[in-house]
A and B are shown apart, each in its own frame.
Chain A
Amino acid sequence: MDNDFQKVAIVTGGGRGIGAAIVRRLREDGALVVACGRSARPEGLDDDVVWVRADVSWSGDANRVIETASKYGPVSILVNNAGVQVEKTVRDTTDEDWSNVIDINCRGVFNMSRAVLPIMEKSGGSIVNLGSISGHVADPSMAIYNASKGFVHSLTRSIAVDHGPAVRCNAVCPGWIMTAMAESGFALAEDPEKAKADAIARHPARRFGTPSDIANTVAWLVSDQALFVTGQLFTIDGGLTAASPLQPGLL
């Protein structure tokens, strides 16, 4: 394989949902993609995608992902997509919930970024973190998740400030994207179908997002079209958070 001109990209949590869409897109754009996740290699993953079974909340695992990817060339794209959510208020959140969410959503982004920075500072690179609209405005009963995304937003700016110009760092903040994670949110509703219709009506785009909507944004941010773009948070939510939380027409 001739890797001289092929960018090496890492996507964490690349096995499903938004991560899987980012893996597919970066591969289509010509990158050699190394994807990681806590499970075994997902079925149907393209043969030329490298899979590393790893838990990014452990620095040893994070380092191993970077080492594996480095065999193919200097890593120039890192997409910190791995994330979990716990649907609880602060009062109900256990120590275990805290560790679960903070270790993956916060420590994972930190571990991966720290491990890749020496490479990117030398040969250049772009980090894209997955923030969330929930890091800007609160989703009810998602306290620790919301806070973890606020951490991601802030760390994004710090990395951009500290490690430019060689490294660019941005965050994409998805709204409601139809993934298994979002489905589990609707599953909590009394009438999931009615809840979905109501939620769609609140989107100026009149639909939920798809994983590929997010992959499109990530692909642009890591491309040479975005060389002056760093330290920013990009909300991709079909207009949801541009509107007031109070929609009298839907009361």
Chain B
Amino acid sequence: MRSTPKEKKPSMTGKLEGKVALVTGGRGGIGRAICDRFIKEGAVVYAADISDAGSMTSVADDRAKFIKLDVTSEENALSVMATVMKEAGKLDVLVNAAGIEIEKTIEHTTLEEWNRSFAVNVTGTFLASKHALPLLRNATTGGVTASVINFGSYDGFIADPGLAAYCATKGAVHALTRAMACDHGPEGIRVNAICPGYIDTPMLQSFFAGAGSGGKGGTIDTLKEAVRNVHPIRNYGAPEDIANLVNWLASDEARYASGQLWVLDGGLSAQVQQMRL
């Protein structure tokens, strides 16, 4: 039985020493792992989320500063950025990790659910980025770049069943990522998107219990062996796997990386559907 990536500790390299980072959805499955990693790398980290608990229980040694943010509210975005400006004077790294998933086909998706999906996943990315720009510009001195990391999904390229609105919002994030990179690259602001595949988060577990099991019901526990076997690397991902890439994209090592969509899915989408032959 090979070990899961979770059991391996990421190396601490102090890559983000002196940097200020804000992670929206910072109390979620992936957002939490990113905050933890950023802190280990020496950054000052703001975990912005709609509630302190988020979808994960708080941990005692969590040093990320919680800052309440409803990403759909422009007023909220403005006040959060004002706070960061006052306390830190700049923002080197913005991670737009807040996201929701409505597990329905378009037929059963209400207009309210559709609008809510876009409000959080797309408008949230827009608002946080828009109002972070003055702070990001403050971080770009002496040839150092600021980094915005959006959350797309492999679902922005190919569809999972019963996730129509989610898939559409992620496609929008992909296009927005390129547009932002194009517009703000000249100012020293890099913009990339990470497109995760199957990552072991509360969102994935919910997907398995609902739309993902084709209505049969199930959990990541009952399905995990089968799911692992469909992946070329024979495993689904851990939030820490995503944090590894976010950390690199946030660091100065990634100074030439911009406008790209980084699929991180254990090879899942590199293959044609795996028929049972």
Interface check B273, CB cutoff 8 A: yes
Interface check B160, CB cutoff 8 A: yes
Residues in A neighbouring B197, C-beta threshold 8 A: 246
Check A242–B158 contact: CB distance below 8 A: yes
Q: A138-B270, A186-B277 are in contact. Are A241 and B158 (CB under 8 A)?
A: yes
Residues in B neighbouring A243, C-beta threshold 8 A: 158-161, 273
Choice from A138, A199, A242, A248 contacting B275 with Cβ under 8 Å: A199
Alpha-carbon separation in the docked complex, A201 to B140 (Å):
52
Q: A248-B208, A248-B223, A249-B161 are in contact. Are A240 and B273 (CB under 8 A)?
A: yes
Q: A244-B155, A248-B213 are in contact. Are A195 and B275 (CB under 8 A)?
A: yes
Interface check A180, CB cutoff 8 A: no
Check A189–B272 contact: CB distance below 8 A: no
Alpha-carbon separation in the docked complex, A137 to B160 (Å):
16
Check B277–A244 contact: CB distance below 8 A: no
Choice from B268, B269, B271, B276 contacting A198 with Cβ under 8 Å: B276
Choice from A139, A189, A199, A242 contacting B271 with Cβ under 8 Å: A139
Residues in A neighbouring B215, C-beta threshold 8 A: 249
Closest to B160 in A: A244
Check B227–A246 contact: CB distance below 8 A: yes
Closest to A237 in B: B272
Residues in B neighbouring A244, C-beta threshold 8 A: 154-155, 158-160, 268-269, 273
Residues in B neighbouring A139, C-beta threshold 8 A: 271-272
Check B214–A248 contact: CB distance below 8 A: yes
Check B213–A249 contact: CB distance below 8 A: yes
Alpha-carbon separation in the docked complex, A138 to B273 (Å):
9
Alpha-carbon separation in the docked complex, A59 to B1 (Å):
53
Chain B residues near A (Cβ < 8 Å): 154-155, 158-161, 197-198, 208, 212-216, 218, 223, 226-227, 230-231, 268-277
Residues in A neighbouring B227, C-beta threshold 8 A: 246, 248, 251
Interface check A1, CB cutoff 8 A: no
Interface check A247, CB cutoff 8 A: yes
Check B159–A245 contact: CB distance below 8 A: no
List CB contacts (< 8 Å) of A207-251 with chain B. 240-251
Check A245–B274 contact: CB distance below 8 A: yes
Interface check A7, CB cutoff 8 A: no
Chain A residues near B (Cβ < 8 Å): 133-134, 137-140, 185-186, 188-190, 194-195, 198-199, 202, 240-251
Alpha-carbon separation in the docked complex, A198 to B277 (Å):
9
Residues in A neighbouring B212, C-beta threshold 8 A: 248-249
Check A242–B208 contact: CB distance below 8 A: no
Alpha-carbon separation in the docked complex, A187 to B198 (Å):
31
Residues in A neighbouring B272, C-beta threshold 8 A: 133-134, 137-140, 240-241, 245
Alpha-carbon separation in the docked complex, A189 to B274 (Å):
13
- 17 more A-B contacts (CB under 8 A) besides A241-B158, A247-B214? A137-B270, A137-B272, A139-B271, A139-B272, A140-B271, A198-B276, A202-B275, A244-B154, A244-B158, A244-B160, A246-B197, A246-B198, A247-B161, A248-B227, A249-B161, A249-B212, A251-B230
Alpha-carbon separation in the docked complex, A250 to B229 (Å):
13
Check B214–A198 contact: CB distance below 8 A: no
Residues in B neighbouring A188, C-beta threshold 8 A: 277
CB distance from A183 to the nearest CB of B (A): 13
Check A140–B274 contact: CB distance below 8 A: yes
Alpha-carbon separation in the docked complex, A227 to B269 (Å):
33
Residues in B neighbouring A241, C-beta threshold 8 A: 158, 272-273
Check B159–A137 contact: CB distance below 8 A: no
CB distance from A223 to the nearest CB of B (A): 30
Alpha-carbon separation in the docked complex, A247 to B197 (Å):
13
Residues in A neighbouring B218, C-beta threshold 8 A: 248
Alpha-carbon separation in the docked complex, A216 to B230 (Å):
34
Alpha-carbon separation in the docked complex, A247 to B214 (Å):
8
Check A137–B214 contact: CB distance below 8 A: no
Check B277–A245 contact: CB distance below 8 A: no
